[in-house]
Structure 1
Amino acid sequence: MLRLSFFLALIALSACGRQDHLGKPPSFTPTRASTEHNAMMDPGLPFRTIEEPPVVGASLWMDNRQSLLGDRRAVKRGDIMTVVIEIDEKAEISNSTSRSRSGNESMQVPQLLGIPQRIDTELPDGASMANAVQLGSSSDSSGNGSVRRNEKLTLRVAAVITDVLPNGVLQIEGSQEVRVNFELRELIVTGYVRPEDISRQNEITYDKIASARVSYGGRGQITDVQQPRYGKQVADMILPF
């Protein structure tokens, strides 16, 4: 009975990750409890204060962010910017090593004040002190390795400023989900950016994001089929052969 309960609990635990899209498309991640939503709901401390000039009836110029030529770049907590991810990288590494070593040692004492002859009488038949020690060793090792990688990724995602650090650096976080039939594609971007690196179009490229973390994956029925079973993953981790 105990074994049956343990087996049923193991089956239920392995199916927890797939109950969300069992016979239906995977559900979207709720946005109201996300970090981005909390940042936009909390105004936080003002980043800077600008005294708006008095409005002149005949003037088209207004020194604020809503004007025609105003600076609309994200600068404070809750603002939104566009992250442009264009990764096209190639890497190729080749390494070859070879090592060889050999050694030979021999010590013979056929005549040493008659001592070997006296010892030979006490030794078993066939044993002699004439060739006392003879050692030999040889070792040879070689290795050859090669690494080749090719990555290409082009994406655009909107990110929210979740915090403004004391030195003025902006902490951003963005997520995007697209569902096609029974497969959900997820994109997550986090990192730190400088306000001066944000372009006039309110965009920033990924190579200007410090501690950038980009995750591009998905969940759904196709992903489940591509992943090995939990039992096989545990066996690969435990078995030493």
Structure 2
Amino acid sequence: MEMKRTLLNLSIASVLLFVSISSLTFATSLYTSSTNPQFKNILGTYKPSRVGDYVTVVVYESPRISTSSQVNTLTNAFINAINTGTKLVGLDLSKYLPSSGSSTDKRDNKSQANAVLELTAVVKEVDQQGKLFLEGRKQIKVGNDLREIIITGWVHPDAIKPGNIVNSTDLINAQIWENGKIVFQDDPQESSWLGLLLSAIANLFKF
């Protein structure tokens, strides 16, 4: 009788050990080996990966804008684009900046600690590589009028930080729309100018 009880206990212990090892192996395999972000989100912190998911786009102070005069100039250029229906292209903004600025530092604002603007964006599309197409809406004040602008752009999932934060400079092929017209468009072959422009016009959102 004692022998049977011992064998039964050993059998139960073996089964429990097998189930535990199998569960850990299966979970680890799903999380670390799968290329499907849905599986990776089972055990890890959830990251947006589907249409309808939300992220927060954060705009930081740009090191390329050092004076209030530059802020005013960029803001006026943006307002003029809205009022006249013209379109600002990324490199167009370079004429409003000091000529000594390096073309390699357009993304340096990722290192700045001071956030000047946040907006919620929704995932509208996911391409075959897993990049997410984001759309965010925000009201600005132009004179006495409130205008809604739409900000769009693609982001790689690896650029999404903890808390589902996306730096504005990580948006690819970014655009700003107002009243059905594009008022700003990044150069496809250039680093993002969106963060620089948004940091300059951040005061338009504070009303």
TM-score of the pair, normalised by structure 2: 0.39
Higher strand proportion: 1
Higher helix proportion: 2
Structure number with the bigger relative contact order (C-alpha 8 A, sep ≥ 6) is: 2
